Chains A and B, each alone.
Chain A
Amino acid sequence: MSERLETEVLIVGGGLVGCATALALARRRTPCLLVERDRCGAQASGVNYGGVRRQGRALAELPLANRARRMWGRLARLVGHDSEFRATGHLRLARDAAELARLERWAEEARRFDVRCELLSPAELTARWPWLAPGLAGGSFCADDGQANPRLTTPLFARAAREQGGRILEGRAVTALERSTKGFRAAIENGPEIEARVLVNAAGAWGPAVAALAGEEFPGEVIAPNMLVSEPLPYRIIPNLGTAGPGVYVRQVPSGSVLFGGGRGVADPVTRRCRPLTSTSLATLAEARRIVPDLARATIIRSWAGIEGRMPDDLPVIGPSPRVPGLFHAFGFSGHGFMLAPAVGAVLAELILDGHSATSLAGLEPTRFEPASRVAVAT
């Protein structure tokens, strides 16, 4: 109990962001220690939809997303396994004229970021993918996007981080944070005290709570994305499907299972329990049938929800704290952080070790919530 561990960087949160940060730091021989309350990848990182796409993102995320896409392409070199990433393409569908306009606008704006999308008419859509419903307004296909298996990803990054010399403590919760001469001192439930020069807040849905422990306030809410999966069916839906507006996202894996997402379940961030809602699942199925009518023949065998943190502007908080020197935030991914996480880790390592990163985080900085944050009371 009186044991004290010292390190350079303490990472709070063992989701994919935290583990990717630990790996990036370990590869640069920087002593780091990650503390995770449960098992790495137990929360949103392990149960999300698994989309790996740039299409449809807020433009502010695209530099990060592009860097992440390059990392996904060489994941096996990075962590020893590809986590079943495949560049199946991402097909974003417009169900009406308004959504079509949104697709076209995004495709145009994304060119600046070197993201190429192919716009398709309804006839082109059904010619190329005959299982699509005939009544769609149009679509946009980004051939280089794809999907991966999120259940494997965080465990792979955690293992790689450990192999590179990073330390990961699982089953330990951070109960208190305070400044110290070195930088930060963290109290761990049933565990050692940890002293570090730098603190990384990668606590996902609990990011604002950890920030508050360090004396900084952020807005945010907890959401529970609702997911369903079917029994294995013959493999026909190759691209990752989404809608250009709130609706449904659908993807099929080669072994046959079809995953559906859309809408919300319920979550309690305090008890860390969440569950899907049948009413939501039924609505998701109805929407999925409107896009791929043959899905009416599937059978759903499981549903679940995850606990995710959402920021008011649906953009993550990434970067150095404006108030607390040595504290770096990376949370609030609002339901679309999975794909970005490997790059977030790399960027955080650069910010910590070099003071800057080549990848732009414009629009994602913690300072955009400045008016809402408070100066820490020195203790």
Chain B
Amino acid sequence: MSGGPPVVIVGAGPAGMAAAATLAEAGLRPMVLDKFPGPGGQGWRAPAVGGSGPLASLDGEDARRARERFLELARSGRIDWYPETTVIDLTRERLWAVGPSGEVDSTAWSRLVLCPGAIERIVPLPGWTLPGVYTLGGAQTALKGQACALGRRIAFLGTGPLLWLAAAQHVIGGVEVAVVADTARLQGLLVSFPALLANRHRLGLGLRCVRVLRRARVPVLRGVRALAILGQGHVEGVRVTTRRREWSFACDAVATSFGLVRQLQLPDLLDVPIRFDRESESWLAEVDDAHRTAVPGVYLAGDAAGIRGATAAALTGERAALSLLEDLGRPVDAARCVRLRKQLQRHARCARALGRAFPLPSALEAEIADDTIVCRCEAVTAGALREAARAFEVDEINRAKALTRCGMGRCQGRFCGPTAARVLARARGIDLEAAGRLRTQPPIEPLPAHVRPVEGGSMA
């Protein structure tokens, strides 16, 4: 069915791929925009090089099938796929994107399924800006996507299921793991155990990771109180402090993060209501069980709608697409919707339990040393934030940004924002919610200044 502005899906990860398939099956021809050359996003990324041997076992069956189905839909013209295309701005009237050769184009849209995913939650550690420090997801990207290890001996620091998964994957890949240091305590995990049973697959995966690490005799520390990355000019080691003692481990690379946070730039540009969630101490875009937002014609799916794992992300993509079809007046399988809701509720229960089992170490974050860099792009320290907050009575993060440059750098506040808010809130004795969140400003990804608009302007 042609004519009129297209239905657009942003993101070709698990959620975007599922939404695309569902809409294509119903006879629509959605436009799918994704910044990477191939589908899969982060959760279901394709191995790019050298995907044989033990590394091949890291690519799941669900992921492979979803990617193949997507590529087939693109080949047969049932979806209109724009890879290497990065959305930079979005209004109710138009969507702007930059393509692989620096051409910038725009399109009107009739309905929008946003699947921008999540990024890792960083807590700055002393030395975290040394060359050789990466995120946990970055370590996975190097391992699975590039068949590379970030170094000869890698320390894994932080908390969350990804910490254990990434470390275990590296052992399987034949890489030496110096240590796995988790700020979460074993007690927290045990308390959440019953709720984790809601998803035996994830539980089984977790136990397998622990077994892999134990068999390889990887040092594992839990209940970690303090972490520091050591080295002159590059990573040379890490120092881990538990309640009992201090440990040092030599290494030449570090992978670190403390969970995931939803990417909110795209819904924010459309004024989708965003609120603070006390349980996760993070901001979320409001979406209902059917993955509709309050903005007519705009749906939100995948990790951006709630972090529940790649399998759940795919289900939300399908659910959002079914809502879209319903809103177009198409018949929709009600029983399927009910089944999806039940499955998603189970995933959500498990996700909440994991969140309780691997809490963000908020005290560690609020108390980071004055000389620790918070904003790595602009090299703004925690001390500079605290000093500006005091000197100008700053009670809000965007004002702190204006005065210190924290969040003004290339990553546009993605990685420093949550920590800056925590440091500010603690310095001023206010709620984390009151400290606010960094305002979204287009372009939401860096825009090369040589871009030229495509002649005659519309992608659709």
Contact = CB atoms under 8 A, between A and B. Distances in A.
A, B co-complexed: yes
Interface of A: 39, 46, 151-152, 155, 159, 229-232, 257, 275-276, 278, 281-282, 285-286, 288-289, 295-304
A272 to B, nearest CB: 13
A278 B449 contact: no
A273 to B, nearest CB: 9
B446 A231 contact: yes
B449 A299 contact: yes
Contacts of A151: 402-403
Given A151-B402, A230-B449, 16 more contacts: A46-B402, A155-B392, A276-B442, A278-B89, A281-B442, A281-B443, A281-B447, A285-B449, A289-B450, A297-B449, A298-B449, A299-B410, A299-B446, A299-B448, A300-B443, A301-B446
Contacts of B448: 298-300
B453 interface: yes
Interface string B403-442: 1000011101000000000000000000000000000011
B446 A278 contact: no
Contacts of A46: 402
Contacts of A303: 441-443
Contacts of A285: 449, 451
A61 to B, nearest CB: 27
Contacts of B399: 39
Contacts of B106: 278
Contact of B453 (A257, A282, A302): A282
A41 to B, nearest CB: 8
A30 to B, nearest CB: 24
B450 A296 contact: yes
Contacts of B88: 278
B443 A289 contact: no
Contact of A278 (B402, B412, B443): B443
A253 to B, nearest CB: 10
A282 B409 contact: no
Contacts of B412: 301-302
Contacts of A232: 409
5 closest pairs, A vs B, by CB? A296-B450, A298-B449, A151-B402, A300-B447, A278-B89
Given A299-B446, A302-B441, A303-B441, A282 B451 contact: yes
Contacts of A299: 410, 446-449
A297 B447 CA distance: 11
A300 B449 contact: yes
**Chain A CB within 10 Å, residue with most, of B396, B399, B443:** B443
Nearest to A151: B402
Contacts of B392: 155, 159
A267 B264 CA distance: 22
B443 A282 contact: no
A278 B447 CA distance: 11
A210 B377 CA distance: 42
Nearest to A80: B391
Contacts of B408: 229, 257, 302
Nearest to A296: B450
B83 to A, nearest CB: 21
Contacts of A286: 452
Nearest to A305: B441
**Chain A CB within 10 Å, residue with most, of B391, B447, B450:** B447
A226 to B, nearest CB: 11
Contact of A295 (B96, B447, B449): B449
Contacts of B446: 231, 299-301
Contacts of A296: 449-450
**Chain A CB within 10 Å, residue with most, of B399, B441, B449:** B449
A286 B448 CA distance: 12
Contacts of A289: 449-450
Contacts of A295: 449
Contacts of B354: none
Contacts of A230: 449
B182 to A, nearest CB: 34
A278 B441 CA distance: 11
B147 to A, nearest CB: 29
B203 to A, nearest CB: 42
B403 A155 contact: yes
13 contacts: A39-B399, A155-B392, A155-B403, A229-B408, A276-B441, A278-B442, A281-B443, A282-B453, A289-B450, A296-B449, A296-B450, A299-B410, A304-B441
Contacts of A288: 449
Contacts of B351: none
**Chain B CB within 10 Å, residue with most, of A159, A281, A289:** A281
Contacts of B452: 286
B89 A152 contact: no
Contacts of B104: 278, 282
A301 B449 contact: no
A276 B269 CA distance: 11
B414 to A, nearest CB: 11
A145 B390 CA distance: 33
A176 to B, nearest CB: 28
A230 B450 CA distance: 12
B268 to A, nearest CB: 11
A228 to B, nearest CB: 9
B340 to A, nearest CB: 36
**Chain B CB within 10 Å, residue with most, of A155, A276, A289, A301:** A301
Nearest to B439: A304
A314 to B, nearest CB: 27
Interface string B106-121: 1000000000000000
A276 B106 CA distance: 16
Nearest to B271: A273
A260 to B, nearest CB: 9
A198 B445 CA distance: 49
Contacts of B451: 282, 285
Contacts of B403: 151-152, 155
A151 B89 CA distance: 24
A236 to B, nearest CB: 15
A288 B450 CA distance: 10
A282 B450 CA distance: 9
